[in-house]
A = this chain, B = another copy of it.
Amino acid sequence: MNKRQLAAQNTKRKLITAALELIKENGFDIINVEDITRKAGVAKGTFYTYFKRKEDIVLDISRVPFSEIVDELLLMESMEITKKLTHYCKRFMECVESCGINICRQWTRDVLDPNHVPNNKDGQKWNFDVEMLKTILENAVMDNELKPDTPIELLTHVIICELYGMMTCWCMSDGKFEPLDWVERFCDVQLEKILEQFTVK
Contact = CB atoms under 8 A, between A and B. Distances in A.
Contact of A164 (B157, B158, B172): B172
Interface residues of A, number: 36
Interface string A179-196: 000100100011001100
A193 B114 CA distance: 36
A161 B114 CA distance: 23
A12 B162 CA distance: 37
A160 interface: yes
Contacts of A154: 185
A131 interface: no
A115 B165 contact: no
Contacts of A157: 169, 173, 177
Contact of A115 (B29, B112, B160, B168): B29
A149 interface: no
Interface of A: 27, 29, 102, 105, 108-109, 111-115, 125-126, 154, 157-158, 160-166, 168-169, 171-173, 177, 182, 185, 189-190, 193-194, 197
